[in-house]
């Protein structure tokens, strides 16, 4: 590790940071509508983005600084088990091809801004809608915090903010980054991360392509890299008494690997920020095209994961695994290009953090504030509340990072993945059938949430007594698997059984304000109904 501040790398980092800040504020004028004081404009970019803007926005949204830092860090720590992120991002795109166009169409038709809007309209249930909204907000908060952890890791390696005489000096660079992010998100809404995503993804692709060629040359080629990594993984971990990891998962880890990949794939597009980026598209065909070209990011992710092996081969030694890749870049690259790499990670945190805070704010505004606090809120009032809540969300995430160990933030993000998966039966199930009963969906959600939380609470690690991971023995099977997927199966079983019972006793099913043709509507069809009609005024449609 180099001593002191890396002035050249810091200078390059500041240059790109200032550049994207300017872009973020200028974005307020990009494709601006006459009336910008609505959630459609501030929170969804006017639902006007085409194929390429949506592609960069979704890529910037899903492939974050946490991805850049944590995926290779997982491989650095434990070996090829960390590659689970690659198959799950391959699995997810055929999956979303089946339901995202339907969600876009019905949301376009009825002016839905959030998944909870759809759930409320489909099932006529504010309670179920509230459950989905609260889950989305809870799952998003630690995810935002992790983006700030990514920035913090880069600043530490550059020698800025890693130490100081008091907490204010130590955390000042992160506070400045947070303040800038909050300011241009408040001003420009979703348009800011949409424009910045072009810079972010361009930098990431450049850094990964250079790294995958330049670093192996310096380390003697991939043969030496894998040999050194294999030797390192064979060494005993003093904390566990077992080998540190493996170049390929053993038989005992296959259930865990497969269930984690599948569960993560099912959960990814349940996150509010994924849906926010999706609903900003101008047509359902934009969504369909994006599901075809987004796998290009999976190729990038596979190359990115290899950096974990390279960090081992380069002899990187860090106490916090999240610093492994930034430290690899500083050790292997010239200072100026290390600055480019750090800027890619830093901007890779700003884009998703902005989208996530907007998504969480939209959920609060539409499905808590408007549904339960002020039903008569005007579009302008909704936009104002959402802007303010987006600031509150960022402050909460910042306090979480400053007050807690980064490892805790990571484990809470894993818990968020378990939680958000429990919203899938209501969202995806509702897109294809009205058969599920709203009370059964709510009960299934509750069972999945309780089981998932309690199971995760009981997982220990060498450093934590609770919430030490996201895998545990699957009841009835005896194999170690992803807790979120087990909770999801329990959720579905409860939902199916209770739906049969409730339908049999003719329990009130709620009023469906949608119709079958809404799920295939495109931008050329009837105009968007920005205001949600009250559920009691809509005609039921069972399908």
DSSP-assigned states of every residue in 173-230: HHHHHHHHHHHHHHHHTTHHHHHHHHHHHHHHHHHHHHHHHHHHHHHT-HHHHHHHHH
pLDDT for the residue numbered 212:
94
Residues contacting 320, CB < 8 A, separation 6+: 153, 406, 407
pLDDT for the residue numbered 539:
36
Highest mean pLDDT among 26-30, 61-65, 201-205, 216-220: 216-220
Q: For 165-221, how does the pLDDT look when each residue is reduced to its tens digit (9 = 90+)?
A: 456 666 777 788 888 888 989 988 999 999 999 998 899 989 999 999 999 999 999
The answer on pLDDT for 359 being more than 90 is: yes
The answer on pLDDT for 523 being more than 50 is: yes
Closest CA to 419 of 16, 74, 143: 143
pLDDT for the residue numbered 529:
45
pLDDT for the residue numbered 242:
78
pLDDT for the residue numbered 492:
98
| Confidence band for 533, pLDDT divided at 50, 70 and 90 | very low
Lowest mean pLDDT among 125-129, 221-225, 423-427, 473-477: 473-477
Angle formed by the axes of helices 85-110 and 115-123, to 10°?
60
The answer on pLDDT for 491 being more than 90 is: yes
DSSP assignment of 469-507 = -SEEEPTTT-SEEEHHHHHHHHHHHHHHHHHHHHHHTT-
> Tokens in use for 192?
């800011």
pLDDT for the residue numbered 506:
94
pLDDT for the residue numbered 136:
96
First CA to last CA across the chain, in angstroms? 62
Higher-pLDDT residue of 373, 153: 373
Averaged over 144-169, what is the pLDDT? 75
DSSP letter at 533? P
pLDDT for the residue numbered 162:
56
Closest CA to 117 of 100, 132, 135, 137: 132
What torsion, rounded to 10 degrees, do the Cα atoms 214, 215, 221, 224 define?
180
Residues contacting 95, CB < 8 A, separation 6+: 265, 266, 269
Cα–Cα dist 491/485, whole Å:
10
Whole-number CA gyration radius for the chain: 23
The answer on pLDDT for 527 being more than 50 is: no
| Confidence band for 389, pLDDT divided at 50, 70 and 90 | very high
The strand pairing partners of 481, in sequence order, are: 472
Residue with tokens 């974005």: 27
Indicate the helix (H) or strand (E) that contains 236.
strand 236-237
The strand pairing partners of 237, in sequence order, are: 242
Averaged over 321-335, what is the pLDDT? 91
| Confidence band for 138, pLDDT divided at 50, 70 and 90 | very high
| Confidence band for 452, pLDDT divided at 50, 70 and 90 | very high
Cα 402 to the center of its chain, rounded Å: 20
The answer on pLDDT for 458 being more than 70 is: yes
Higher-pLDDT residue of 299, 223: 223
The answer on pLDDT for 163 being more than 60 is: no
Sign of the alpha-carbon dihedral angle for 114, 190, 146, 391 = negative
CA separation, residue 438 to residues 18, 187, 433, 435 (Å): 48, 38, 12, 9
Residue 257's Cβ-side half-sphere holds a number of Cα atoms within 13 Å equal to 19
The answer on pLDDT for 250 being more than 80 is: no
Averaged over 485-507, what is the pLDDT? 97
pLDDT for the residue numbered 320:
77
Task: State the chain's mean pLDDT as an integer.
Answer: 87
User: Under DSSP, is residue 165 helix (H, G, I), strand (E, B) or coil?
Assistant: coil
């Amino acid at each position: 590790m180099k001593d002191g501040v890396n002035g050249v790398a810091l200078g390059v980092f500041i240059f790109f940071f200032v550049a994207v800040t300017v872009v973020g504020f200028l974005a307020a004028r990009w494709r601006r509508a006459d009336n910008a004081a609505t959630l459609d404009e501030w929170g969804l970019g006017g639902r006007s983005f085409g194929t390429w803007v949506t592609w960069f926005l979704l890529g910037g949204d899903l492939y974050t600084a946490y991805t850049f830092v944590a995926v290779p860090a997982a491989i650095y720590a434990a070996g090829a088990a960390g590659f689970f992120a690659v198959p799950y991002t391959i699995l997810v795109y055929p999956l979303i091809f089946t339901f995202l166009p339907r969600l876009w169409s019905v949301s376009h038709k009825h002016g839905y801004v959030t998944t909870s809007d759809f759930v409320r309209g489909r099932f006529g249930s504010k309670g179920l809608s509230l459950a989905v909204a609260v889950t989305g907000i809870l799952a998003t908060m630690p995810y935002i915090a992790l983006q700030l952890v990514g920035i913090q890791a880069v600043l530490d390696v550059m020698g800025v903010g890693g130490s100081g005489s008091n907490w204010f000096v130590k955390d000042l660079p992160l506070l400045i980054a947070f303040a800038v992010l909050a300011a241009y998100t408040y001003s420009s809404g979703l348009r800011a991360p949409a424009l910045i995503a072009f810079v972010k993804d361009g930098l990431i692709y450049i850094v990964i392509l250079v790294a995958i060629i330049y670093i192996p040359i310096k380390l003697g080629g991939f043969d030496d890299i894998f040999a050194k990594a294999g030797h390192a993984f064979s060494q005993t971990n003093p904390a566990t008494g077992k080998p540190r990891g493996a170049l390929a998962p053993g038989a005992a880890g296959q259930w865990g690997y497969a269930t984690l990949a599948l569960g993560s794939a099912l959960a990814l597009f349940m996150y509010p920020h994924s849906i926010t980026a999706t609903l900003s598209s101008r047509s359902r065909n934009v969504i369909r095209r994006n599901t075809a070209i987004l796998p290009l990011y999976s190729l990038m992710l596979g190359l990115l994961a290899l950096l974990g092996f390279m960090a081992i081969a380069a002899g990187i030694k860090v106490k916090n695994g999240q610093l492994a890749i930034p430290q690899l870049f500083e050790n292997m690259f010239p200072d100026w290009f290390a600055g480019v790499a750090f800027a890619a990670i830093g901007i890779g945190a700003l884009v998703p953090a902005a989208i996530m805070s907007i998504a969480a704010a939209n959920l609060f505004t539409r499905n808590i504030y408007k549904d339960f606090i002020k039903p008569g809120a005007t579009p302008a009032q909704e936009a104002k509340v959402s802007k303010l809540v987006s600031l509150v969300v960022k402050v909460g995430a910042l306090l979480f990072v400053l007050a807690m160990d980064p490892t805790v933030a990571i484990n809470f993000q894993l818990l968020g993945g378990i939680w958000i998966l429990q919203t899938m039966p209501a969202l995806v199930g509702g897109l294809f059938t009205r058969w599920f009963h709203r009370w059964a969906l709510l009960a299934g959600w509750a069972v999945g949430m309780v089981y998932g939380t309690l199971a995760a609470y009981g997982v220990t690690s060498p450093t934590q007594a609770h919430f030490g991971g996201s895998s545990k023995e699957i009841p009835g099977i005896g194999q170690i698997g992803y807790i979120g997927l087990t909770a999801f199966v329990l959720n579905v079983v409860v939902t199916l059984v209770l739906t049969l019972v409730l339908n049999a006793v003719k329990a009130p099913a709620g009023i469906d304000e949608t119709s079958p043709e809404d799920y295939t509507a495109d931008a050329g069809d009837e105009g968007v109904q920005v205001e949600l009609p009250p559920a009691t005024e809509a005609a039921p449609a069972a399908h």
